[in-house]
Structure 1
Amino acid sequence: MNVLLVYAHPEPRSLNGSIKDFSVGRLQRNGHTVQVSDLYAMQWKGTLDAQDDTAYRAGTRFDASADSLQAFRNGTQSADIAREQEKLRWADALILQFPLWWYSMPAILKGWIDRVYACGFAYGVGEHSDTRWGERFGEGVMAGKRAMLVVTTGGWESHYAPRGINGPIDDILFPIQHGILFYPGFDVLAPHVIYRTGKIDEAGFAAACTALGQRLDDLWTSAPIAFRKQNAGDYQIPALTLRPELAPGKAGFGIHVA
């Protein structure tokens, strides 16, 4: 299988750097082909702007979605965007690895999403009618592929428990897992989170690698998160609200998991 690992950490000698190297080695030993997009090493441009279309004319009003669609359709996207899109097409599985910074991903990784997830490629596709609302949330260009987050955080696991001060880790990661990965069609696996990274010693690193190695071994056999598909009947269209008979009286992120 082909695996794309998109990695966002500025220091190659960090714990994250070691984890990334371990993951690449483990996947390759298991017979998989791996490409790594090391965003800091690539000096990835993190801002979506008019220059992402090589045919942009100075002085023209910039419209992020419309210009993105035009560049995608006309083949005038900047070369770095087109290369990353081709990696996504090639990959059978995507791993996003990053430290949790201020309850989200590093800005450079968000910038990768902003630019690579072009209109016409990852969003703005499919029929919009009274029965369907585009190819998204379980459908789209990434349908049939798998995705998983590998996340590090300095906080204790209890800080991210259901009653923890930071909020449940599944809620914190929901916008990424549901909104970034499931939206264009990925089957999303449960995240692999490594806690208290500042306290990990040699023995702790070995234990972390053992746990991560098992997740990588199971990349194609683990059951994905049972997110509800948008166009499969669970949602009222075009309102896109969950049908009242499903999870009655409940609200929040959890109702979108069957």
Structure 2
Amino acid sequence: MHALIVVAHHQPRSLTHSVATQIAEGLTQAEPANTCEIADLYAQGFQPVFGAADFAVHHREALPPADVQAEHARIDRADALVLVFPVYWWSMPALLKGWIDRVFSNGWAFDYGSDQKHIKKLQRLRVHLVGLGGADAGAFQRHGYAAAMKAQIEHGIFDYSGATVQSSTLLLESESSDPQGHLQTAYKIGVRIFPVPGGSEPAREGTRAVELIAS
């Protein structure tokens, strides 16, 4: 099984990158046959701005640009997509949102045309979300931020394209707590991404885990 781990953080030595590395470690340690690719959007210089060429793709007037087609191929090779990102203003960073804006395009992630029919095209894809937030669990729950992120990201993006969000984890107090707890959690996330032969059964389709973790 193969996973694509997408990271959106400018600092390679950040906790965000370390969490992604631990997820990859857990995934490959759980089953040596498992493989993964870490896509560092900052390092690769991905252009996140949805421009005229992307607008033409949305209206089915042109093929996706080469950089978008390359991301399509990455996801098409993957059995699971893992997004690892810092929480900025109760959502994902602009770079990651722009990656989704451009990559989850009409004709590839979904079909929507003049006949008003909406077809979800990513129903095979399993998604895991890992956000790192500076606030504590109480703030996320008290102000409804966790629910807002679920509606925006899980329903608004992935359900619209048919992908199943199998786990969604918020690693909180990321700027003030001991990072080792979050790194251990990240490793466990990696272990659980794919079923281990002879181990526990994988999550049933349509089920998901929601965790608010504060060290």
Question: Could you state the TM-score of these two structures normalised by the residue count of structure 1?
Answer: 0.70
Match of 1:41 among 40, 43, 50: 43
Structure index of larger Rg: 1
Q: Share of identical aligned residues, percent?
A: 30
Q: Secondary structure at the match of 2:127?
A: strand
| CA drift at 1:125 | 4.6
Match of 1:248 in 2: none
Work out the CA distance in 2 between the residues paired with 1:219 and 1:86: 21
1:149-197 deviation per Cα after TM superposition (whole angstroms, max 9, x unaligned): 0000000011112xx13x1413323211111112211111231110001
Match of 1:181 among 134, 154, 158: 158
Query: What residue in structure 2 maps to residue 5 of structure 1?
Result: 5
Question: Which residue in the other structure is 1:158 paired with?
Answer: 138
Give the whole-Å Cα distance in 2 for the aligned partners of 1:211 and 1:123: 33
- Does the CA-based 8 Å contact 1:4-1:91 persist in structure 2? yes
Q: Which runs of 5+ in 1 are unaligned?
A: 53-61, 228-258
Q: Is contact 1:6–1:96 with CA below 8 Å preserved after alignment?
A: yes
Structure 1 runs of 4+ with >6 Å offset: none
CA shift in 2, pair 1:26/1:217, >3 Å: closer
Offset, 1:122: 1.2
Q: Give 1:134's aligned residue.
A: 118
Q: Secondary structure at the match of 2:106?
A: coil
Distance 1:210 1:146 in 2: 22
Aligned residue in 1 for 2:67: 80
CA RMSD of aligned residues (A): 2.3
1:226: how far off?
Answer: 4.9
Q: Deviation of residue 97 (structure 1)?
A: 0.9
Distance 1:170 1:224, change over 3 A: farther
Residues 126 and 135 in structure 1, CA contact (< 8 A), matched pair in contact too: no
CA contact (8 A) 1:188 1:224 kept: no
> Equivalent of 1:65, from 58, 66, 78?
58
Q: Which residue of 1 aligns with 2:146?
A: 169
**Local SS of the residue matching 2:17:** helix
* Structure 1 residues 23-55: Cα deviation after superposition (integer angstroms, max 9, x where no partner): 122222233211121111111101111245xxx
In terms of fraction of residues, the more strand-rich structure is 2
- Code of the aligned partner of 1:150: V
Deviation, 1:200, is 2.3
Q: Which has the higher contact order (CA 8 A, sep 6+)?
A: 2
Q: Which runs of 5+ in 2 are unaligned?
A: 195-201, 209-215
The Cα shift of 1:71 comes to 2.4
1:62-83: CA deviation from partner (whole Å, max 9, x where unpaired):
65622xx2323xxxx3221111
Is 1:26 the equivalent of 2:26? yes
Equivalence for 2:99? 112
2:191 to 217, 224, 228: 217
C-alpha distance in 1, partners of 2:159/2:23? 23
Aligned length: 199
Q: C-alpha distance in 1, partners of 2:9/2:25?
A: 18
TM-score, normalised via structure 2 length: 0.83
Question: Could you tell me whether the CA contact under 8 Å between 2:56 and 2:62 is conserved in 1?
Answer: no
User: C-alpha separation between the residues in 2 aligned to 1:127 and 1:47?
Assistant: 25
Residue 102 (structure 1) aligned with residue 95 (structure 2): no
Contact 1:187–1:225 at 8 Å: present in 2 too? yes
